[in-house]
Amino acid sequence: MITCLQASALISRSFDVQLGGEESRLVEQHTRACPACLRYARELELIRRCCRELVEEALGEGGAPLPEGSRRRLQARLELALQG
Amino acid sequence: MPEDKPVESNPATWVADHGDALFRFALLRLRDAALAEEAVQDTFLAALRARERFSGLSTERTWLVGILKHKIVDLIRKQSREKPPADPEALERIGEQSFDGEGRWKNGQPDWQVDPSMAQERSEFREVLTECLEELPPRQGEAFAMRELDDLTSEEICKAMGITETNLWVMLHRARLRLRGCIQANWSEGGAEGGAGSGGEGPEDAG
């Protein structure tokens, strides 16, 4: 069986690419016997979910507004470009 | 303006309609108000030039956010401060920090105990996560943010950072271990108390 060090690397990689069949089997076999690595995988899932929520929060309505100075400068620059 | 409603693009109202959201996203990514404003300005100007290409099939917001993500990557590329770690021993060093000599987790700590159904708890957890994202070394932080906040592909990230896929994989692995340790140190002991800092890495119950 692979070690936690190897399993954690594969678990991390599974968040970026589809693991191959053998790699998936090794991770599955390891996490069945290792609560720590299973927990690590769940924690990475939670981090990913919360990152998505941070983006949704930023792009949604109702958050902190653009500072007034920035708003004025952006509007002025845009109007200048529209005229030109 | 409702975010998901397809509309014709009207540059005169872009700042009013999308300025807040674009700025918040840019600030989340760049952590600097002046840079965030620069990214939003570059986005509006680029969108103005490419206005004919806006099909109206996606929302105006989605289209502008897509441009903004690329502008942020351009800014980061310009500001890149560290060299890519073309380092075959990187994985061994990860091992030294987080695992014992037999490859098992060390420094066991209690579970995070975040209840996904508790909105307040999740909100506090996101605050800790944000602080811990800021604690990541710049290149690791950028790689992680491009993956998890910008949702870019490995190919796009590698191109933007000038690294190989193996470099990226190692960087992301290190970033995740470091993030996990930081969150554990700043969350486990009673929630979002105290600032983010370095923390132990590794779950308990190592097998």
What domains appear along chain B, each with residue ranges and CATH number?
11-79 (1.10.1740), 90-187 (1.10.10.10)
Look over chain A and give the mean of its residue pLDDT values, rounded to a whole number: 92
User: Quick one: pLDDT at residue B121?
Assistant: 82
What is the distance in angstroms between the Cα of B194 and the nearest Cα belonging to chain A?
19
Residues B2-13: tens digit of each pLDDT: 454 445 678 889
- Summarize the confidence of residues B106-123 as an average pLDDT: 71
pLDDT at B94: 60
Is-contact B184 B176, C-beta < 8 A?
no
Confidence of residue B23 (pLDDT cuts 50, 70, 90): very high
Q: What is the pTM of this model?
A: 0.82
Nearest CB neighbour to A66, from listed B19, B116, B126: B19
Structure tokens, B15: 């700042």
Q: Which of the pair, B191 or B24, is modelled with greater confidence?
A: B24
Note whether B25 contacts A65, CB cutoff 8 Å.
no
Closest partner residue to A59 (CB to CB) among B65, B176, B203 is B65
The mean per-residue pLDDT over the stretch A33-51 comes to 93
pLDDT digits (tens, 9 = 90+) for B48-57: 998 877 777 7
Q: What mean pLDDT do residues B138-158 have?
A: 92
Considering Cα of A25, then B104, then B147, then B17, what sign does the dihedral take? positive
Q: For an interface test with B, give the residue of A19, A30, A50 to mutate (most B CBs within 10 A).
A: A50
Name the minimum distance, in Å, from the CA of A64 to any CA of chain B: 7
Decide if B149 contacts B29 (C-beta within 8 A): yes
Into how many domains does chain A fold? 1
Contacts with B204 from chain A: Cβ below 8 Å: 36
Candidates A16, A38, A53, partner chain B, best to mutate (most B CBs within 10 A): A16
| pLDDT of res. B200 | 42
Q: In sequence order, which residues have a C-beta less than 8 Å from that of residue B98 and are 6 or more positions away? A: A5, A8, B105, B106, B107, B177, B181, B201, B202
The domain of A32 spans: 4-83
Compute the distance between CA of residue B112 and CA of residue B123 in angstroms, rounded to an integer: 14
Longest dimension (CA), chain A: 67
pLDDT at B83: 45
Of the partner residues B45, B104, B114, the one whose CB lies closest to the CB of residue A81 = B45
Which pLDDT belongs to residue B116? 65
Q: What are phi and psi of B114, to 5 degrees?
A: -90, 125
Residues 6+ apart with CB under 8 A from A35: B203, B205, B207
pLDDT-derived band at B89 (thresholds 50, 70, 90) equals: low
- Chain A nearest-CA distance from B81, in A, is 24
Q: Taking CB atoms and an 8 Å limit, are A82 and B169 in contact across chains?
A: no
Separation between Cα atoms, residue B140 and residue A59, nearest integer Å = 24
Residue B127 has pLDDT above 80, yes or no: yes
Which residue among A16, A53, A65 places its CB closest to the CB of B169? A16
Selected residue with higher pLDDT from B115 and B27: B27
| Cβ neighbours around B159 below 10 Å, total | 13
Task: Give start and end residues of each alpha helix (H) in chain B.
Answer: 14-30, 33-49, 60-79, 90-98, 119-135, 138-148, 154-161, 165-187
pLDDT at B53: 78
Query: Is A21 a residue whose pLDDT tops 90?
Result: yes
Query: Confidence band (pLDDT; 50, 70, 90) for B86?
Result: very low
